[in-house]
Amino acid sequence: MISSISGSASQIASSIFGKLDTSNKGYIEQADLQSALSKINGNDDSSDTDELFSSLDSDSDGKLTESELSSGISNLLSELNSQFNNSRVQGGMPPPPPPQGEEDDEGYTQDELESIASSTNDSQLSSLMSTIAANFEAADTNKDGKVSAKEAMEYQRQNEGNQAKQPEDNSINRQIGQLIAAYGSSDDTSSTSNSLSLAA
């Protein structure tokens, strides 16, 4: 599981890095990251970007390498995967299998989402699951009775403008999720970015 997460993180980081390192410097500066996030969310507030850049720039040299970006994404994916598995185990459901691709993203029924929301100790995950469950019909775009990670991500993206600003302690995860959704997409990484966005 960890190796597949690391491999996916590396692929996602490579895609994001290639799109942000437009000058082929071999690193991303804070201004590059700020510019990318401004394009995504229309917000020029650099304070959030300062925190994100500092958290990813592990050697504090002011240059974000592809390896550092990959480590940050890998850590986030591992954390979210762990939180999600813990919530499913606490809810009496078996842990999910490793993500293999979009075709394996079967989704959750409204009852399963409510069960996860009520059984987890993670307030962010509980809030997300509650929101999706409460808006189940709108989120279940293919009307198959389950909300997949892709459907949840699309619902979340469409309604992001209507939601209040998320707490500061979640801003790093939120920004990494935005970068992945906007710049990390390719055929190989779409299912991972969908899974991440569901939990972010």
Q: Which of the residues in the chain have pLDDT under 70?
A: 1-7, 44-45, 83-105, 160-170, 185-200
The CA-based angle 27-28-34, given to 5 degrees, is 175
From residue 174, how far is each of 78, 114, 170, 177 by CA, in Å?
A: 15, 22, 6, 5
> What pLDDT does 25 receive?
92
Q: What is the DSSP letter of 135?
A: T
Burial (CB < 10 A; 0-12, 13-18, 19+), residue 35, is middle
What lies within 8 Å, CB to CB, of 46 at 6+ separation is 34
The CA-based angle 191-193-197, given to 5 degrees, is 120
> What pLDDT does 66 receive?
92
Q: Which residues of 97-122 are buried (b: 16+ CB within 10 A; e: fewer)?
A: eebeeeeebebbebebbbbbbebbeb
> What pLDDT does 26 receive?
93
